[in-house]
Amino acid sequence: MIKAVRGTRDLLPPETALWNFVEAAVRDVFRAYNFQEIRTPIFEETALFARGVGEETDIVAKEMYTWEDRARAASEKGQSLTLRPENTAGVVRAYIEHKLWDRGLNKLYYIGPQFRRERPQKGRYRQFYQIGAEVIGPASAGSESPARDAEVLEMLATLLDRLGITDWNLELNSVGTPADRAQFNDALRKALEPVSAQMCDDCQRRAVTNPLRVFDCKVPEDQPIIETLPRITQFLGEDSRKYFQAVQDILTKVGVRFSLNDRLVRGLDYYTRTAFEFTHGALGAQNAILGGGRYDGLSEALGGPAAPGIGFAIGEDRLVMSLKETAEGVIRKPDVYVAPMAGMNGEAARLARELRRHDLVIELGDDGFRLKKSFEAATKAGAKYILIVGESEVKADAFALKNLATGEQISVPRAELAGKIQG
């Protein structure tokens, strides 16, 4: 038997109803903040991620699905392509390619699959789903402002509250400007030189290639060493400090609670200034629901004009996992099971069509079923009512409607059925 590839999975009903609920709430909240949807290809040129995400990140070095696309002609060279491991680089590529700076400030969101060849674990898959948003544009359009950072964070707090995730925690940090980070990286390298040999293999490599990534380490034995390392807050310039304080002041003003975490860094090279994560206790040790930050130099790194921006990505798989305890009210079961008697399939289908026009969920039976089997099917489907369609009911234009929970059965004229069921 052929099974789904390791690290992938099938999303099946009724769980897909929860996914649809999440995505509908996302679209509603994002619309209120004037975000519009963008859809980019699921694969891009490999160079986009090497330049945008960073060649020394774990994503590019170890986790990408990359292949050489066959040349269309013998005289042509094949092209290296990669399934997108994240979506920000693709959105910025589209921003540059389509000259979206002509529109001023762009507030864009996406929903879709991403791909990373990492070790599958709870809530993490090799094909996983992200909900993300980016605010990007010329500085003259207001993209380089602490007000933008605060608005994005307030929108995320609103979204989590709307979904019923009220016990979230927002962690904030500033990773400064590239100049701030250069000084910090020098200090980190010096601090890591005498101790990196005692750390995990990944940290030993990061200590040389990209020491900031050491703070991403989750190996318990490495944590005492990491605790002794310098922090980015010690190297922030005055402008970075003022910017970060302004973000905090706005969040306090609008009532969004947060905590400061000077160990928090984002795992990709393009981040600057504000970095953040929302966590939730229901997810255990790997408790991050979403994360993001500011990336003011990414457009230029990809060959575009200066375009300060801020964005985030929500792990939809993990977000849905945190909602499962409250999922019961999300999954809408049939309002009515329509049970046709012998020869009544056509009449039953006609009646079902009329009721569906009133936004009722209808499960349609078959006239080959005996009445007992129809009742069993209605109960299994979770229907609230069963509606019997027999020859005498059609002649009288009134139908037997039975409440499966109470056992009450009444005859209801066709014209009053929808109102009775809704009531």
Render pLDDT for 132-142 as a digit per residue (tens, 0 to 9): 999 999 999 88
Distance CA 114, CA 270 (A): 18
Give the lowest-confidence range in 56-60, 282-286, 316-320. Answer: 282-286
**How much is the pLDDT for 328?**
60
Q: What value does the mean pLDDT take over residues 22-35?
A: 95
**How much is the pLDDT for 67?**
87
**How much is the pLDDT for 278?**
93
Distance CA 179, CA 189 (A): 16
**Could you report the per-residue pLDDT of 76-113, keeping only the tens digit for each?**
677 889 999 999 999 999 999 999 999 999 999 999 99
Kindly state the helix (H) or strand (E) to which residue 312 belongs, with its residue range. strand 309-315
More confident residue, 251 or 125: 251
Judge whether residue 267 has pLDDT over 60: no
Q: What is the DSSP letter of 311?
A: E
**How much is the pLDDT for 332?**
80
Do the strands 398-403 and 409-413 form a parallel or antiparallel pair, or are they unpaired?
antiparallel
The closest of 58, 69, 68, 70 to 117, measured between CA atoms, is: 58
pLDDT band at 289 (very low <50, low <70, confident <90, very high): confident
**How much is the pLDDT for 418?**
92
Judge whether residue 222 has pLDDT over 70: yes
Neighbours of 234 (CB within 10 A): 11
Between CA 259 and CA 270, with CA 265 as vertex, the angle to 5 degrees is: 130
Judge whether residue 286 has pLDDT over 60: no
pLDDT band at 180 (very low <50, low <70, confident <90, very high): confident
Q: What value does the mean pLDDT take over residues 57-76?
A: 72
The Cβ-side half-sphere exposure at 162, using a 13 Å CA radius, reads 17
Q: Which of 144-153, 228-237, 277-286 has the highest mean pLDDT?
A: 144-153
Token representation of residue 43:
């694969």
What is the helix, strand, coil percentage profile of the chain, to 5?
Answer: 45, 20, 35
Domains of the chain: 15-177+237-326 (3.30.930.10), 336-422 (3.40.50.800)
Q: What is the mean pLDDT of the chain?
A: 88
**Could you report the per-residue pLDDT of 160-175, keeping only the tens digit for each?**
999 988 889 999 999 8
